[in-house]
A and B are shown apart, each in its own frame.
Chain A
Amino acid sequence: MTDTTPLMVLAVFLASAVRYSMPLLVGTLGETVTERSGHLNLGVEGMMLMGGAAGFVTAIRTDSLVLSLLAAMGGAIAGALFYAVLTVTFRANQVVTGLALTLFGAGVANTVGKGAVHASTPPHIQAFFAWQPLRPDLSAIESVPVLGPAAVFLRTVLLEYNIYVYMAVLLAVVLSLLLHRTRLGLHLRVVGENPASADASGIRVAATRYGAILVGGALCGLAGLYLPLVHNGTWVENITGGRGWIVVALVIFVRWSPLRAMLGALLFGALEIIGFKLQGFPQLAGNPLFSQYIIGMYPYIITVIVLVANSARKKGGWRGPGALGLPYFREER
């Protein structure tokens, strides 16, 4: 292995940060879509678990990747549908409903996943996610000084990923374009900023919100599926381990932008692994700031700082969807 040069250590670290960031990124994209419509869905953790369990159990039962993906989306959408019906149609409190969804989702997922605890990802699906479609063969220039290591570095950082990673990045770009360049995105943003305005403009507020919540749910399901199917290769109880809450934090941290979500997820993903990577450095052992548990706090602390800074700014600037968390009822008087 040539992984011992400092450059390669960095490259491998960055690459694994990217891999760790995947469930966070996809979940964040989903929650961003939902929150852009004005709905704060705190049930991300529950939806990720539902999607993960449904998708993984389907994968080991049917041996089919396509069915597994559909099941992951379907499972999470089922959870999101509860949330949508309650908060959009029945105008229930969004925070409480989101918490209920987390409880419900964890319950369903851990019940369903019970049978899959000792199972592992079917081999051909494993192989599919081991496939690195963009990895070039550099054996010809690998030994060239300077150029060779530089090329290998870039390849490790950018091109040695499975298809899930590239699809996620593509998704972020597509969502960003959709949000800012299309009619659909404009409508979604208007609904999230000011539903009364949307209503008066002839935009279907409820339908748009349903759509955003369900799409958000589907993405959370795919994010949840990554953990058992790709990352762990097996199911364990509460496999998301709080990542759903990191997603809620991330959406704020990246200020509801799909493009910034990539950077934010990468940072939080890096923080997730940096903790135990640093265990290898005995000179840092006594320093609590570099303890993996303290590093585990950083995403939340950073989010708190962003939240406070965001609200403390005097004027101008956008502070998130204007109607976030508020129900809308046209005939209210």
Chain B
Amino acid sequence: MSSQTDLSITELSDDIRAAIAELKKRPEIESVGIITRVGDGVAWIYGLSAAGYNEMLEIEGVNGKKVTAFAFNLSEDEIGAVLLGEDTDVRAGATVRLSGAVLEVPVGPELVGRVVDPLGRPLDGGDPIKAKQNSRVERQAPGVLDRRSVYEPLMTGITAIDAMVPIGRGQRELIIGDRQTGKTAIAVDTMVNQAKQETGVVNVYVAIGQKLSKIAALQERLRREGVMDQTIIVATSPADPAALLYLAPYAGCAMGEYFRDNKQHSLIIYDDLTKHAQAYRQMSLLLRRPPGREAYPGDVFYLHSRLLERASKLNDELGGGSLTALPIIETQAGEVSAYIPTNVISITDGQIYLETNLFYQGIRPAISVGLSVSRVGGSAQTKAVKAAGGGLKLALAQFRELAAFSQFSTDLDEETRHTIERGQRLTELLKQPQYSPYSIWEMYTSLYAATEGAFDKVPLEKIKPAEQALHRELKSKHAKLVDALNTGDKPTDAQNDTIMKAAKSVAQTYEAEESRKAAISADKAEDRKSANG
């Protein structure tokens, strides 16, 4: 023992430092916390003051079960942790240990073709996933210098989208609309197109709180379409804890980022972020964070902005990979000015707005031309589609305006009637059944023929058959032209002439058929008249 006069801060400091070094050699020292209360998927922990935000915690559950949680609320006297397992397996008084790591998920090609939960555990009954690499669920988005602007197209195979609201690789394009308007159908068609056109883009479909039956049906459909071989499904059901729903998009994003960072291209679909925000709201309220507008916590914007910012096109030095995001938002009664829709609209690089009215009028995909926009995709559009679809948006907007106006008038001038008829034909042409994405040549030839007036005399109900006949004709007789158009380069005048000739010849068949039918019905009417007379 030293007396007061012997006190030296340097000596004391050195002594303590030496004692720390000695104690560090002993393995039995570890920091533990105690669960003080648990419920609704949230556990409150005393101790573990050294826990980091989002750090994984291991709880000694009932019957020796290990339950994983992650630290979410780091307050002065306790930690609020969100359980990734069942809260019935955790009791007050249970011991909690720090893992020293933040949440990670397996990533890599081993996950392709599989259905997994947000922790990377298989849900498809297949073999355990032996990924060589893990990645953090929460990662910083690439910085400004790591990126380059979007310039390559990500074709959806849907003419209305690729011609009017084109999507580029690395873009974030929101799909927004009421329930049952075909939001998921657009996303799924885009995935199907990646397989059909052999683009090599890896799809990541994140189902947030979706019915398991729906996910199973989707998986089966994708398998039949041959898309599952380049798809990862991250699935969560409404029965899963809110924490898993919250984690799902971040986990899916980490899986997609692997391909982006390895010079590949990936597409991620968040279906849907409305449910994601709701899961986060549930967690936040249970963690007693102050509620704000619509009871969402104050950082709900950051929740989505940090997720969507991770979608990017990397520069050539980093391999030039990309991660394109198609988030989905469900609106209530077409209300796009609600809290979450406006947030996500402002974060993304454009939106595809689907309308219930159009859907029930049979216009599918029910894309609202006026409200849909792509802010960066124009520079990524293929030259061919750009050339054909240039005036399409304007023509359709004019048609809608005139069509609404013409309902009040019977006498229309020739020009108005022509615009309306052309608009009707274009609208008909943009209808497209599900799971049948178009190639570039199919889109171009249809749009070119229609906008150049080749189908102006074809009856409205025959537009789609005429379009299909044109495609058949070109595919069988002009295979070289088809291949040339598929490169996406701007078509030459000679190529356009060939298309117009074929289109006019096909159109004449339907026009003639129509005239014959009209003549027959006129004869029948005449016969009836004379019989009555």
A and B held together in a complex: no
Residues on A lying within 8 angstroms of B by beta carbon are: none
Residues on B lying within 8 angstroms of A by beta carbon are: none
